[in-house]
């Protein structure tokens, strides 16, 4: 069972890019640990190809090599926050139509060129004071991701909503450093939901 984690810095999380077995220090590592503990007789291969600072356009540029050609059984995708963040200072936001086109191409390639089941993880931003400026753009793009999930995802994990709910119990700084990059607790929260999504795919589809 080959499971591929794709995304930006939240997925990357300090992985050693010279070692394909390196999962970094974030949620992919915790997901792998949980799955190995649960499915003792299953042979897993975990690959993390997240790269810090990447946007949907960057994933497109490396998608054949870093996703399609790897032919995963399951792929998780967490992308989109940088499509807002990298354009905050100049206000040159990516048109929603282009964002949707980029993401749709990623998902279409996986759906049409591989056998992979798709776990889509929603991008998120928590309510830190400096993050208010994110909301007008990122909320539109989150709606786009939700629409695409209805079309392409085998499982959708609504992280923006999950973190909003979690912040009722613990403050935002418990879960993230500044509103985007998770603390250890934030990574473990993502991992719990991602793990459950993958378990559902394994159990329902009889994957081995």
Neighbours of 121 (CB within 10 A): 30
Contacts of 186 (CB under 8 A, 6+ apart): 163, 174, 175, 176
> CATH fold of 2-205, please?
Rossmann fold (3.40.50)
The 3 state secondary structure assigned to 124-189 is CCCCCHHHHHHHHHHHHHHHHHHHHHHHHCCEEECHHHHHHHHHHHCCHHHHECCCCCECHHHHHH
Q: What is the tens place of the pLDDT at every residue in 112-151?
A: 999 999 999 999 999 998 899 999 999 999 999 999 999 9
Whether residue 169 is predicted with pLDDT greater than 80 in this model: the reply is yes
Whether residue 103 is predicted with pLDDT greater than 70 in this model: the reply is yes
How high is the pLDDT of residue 130? 86
């Amino acid at each position: 069972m080959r499971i591929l984690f794709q995304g930006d810095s939240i997925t990357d999380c300090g992985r050693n890019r010279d070692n394909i077995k390196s999962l970094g220090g974030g949620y992919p590592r915790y997901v792998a640990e949980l799955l190995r503990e649960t499915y003792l007789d299953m042979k897993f291969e975990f690959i993390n190809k997240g790269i810090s600072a990447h946007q949907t356009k960057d994933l497109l540029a490396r998608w054949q090599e870093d996703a399609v050609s790897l032919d995963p059984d399951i792929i998780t995708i967490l992308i989109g926050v940088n499509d807002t963040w990298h354009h905050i200072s100049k206000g040159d936001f990516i048109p929603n139509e282009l964002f949707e086109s980029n993401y749709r191409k990623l998902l279409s390639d996986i759906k049409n060129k591989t056998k992979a089941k798709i776990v889509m993880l929603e991008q998120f931003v928590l309510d830190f004071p400096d993050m208010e400026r994110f909301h007008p753009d990122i909320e539109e793009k989150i709606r786009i991701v939700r629409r695409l999930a209805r079309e392409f995802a085998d499982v959708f994990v609504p992280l923006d909503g999950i973190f909003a709910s979690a912040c009722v119990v613990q403050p935002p700084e418990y879960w993230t450093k500044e509103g985007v990059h998770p603390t250890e607790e934030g990574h473990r929260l993502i991992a719990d939901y991602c793990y459950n999504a993958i378990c559902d795919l394994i159990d329902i589809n009889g994957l081995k």
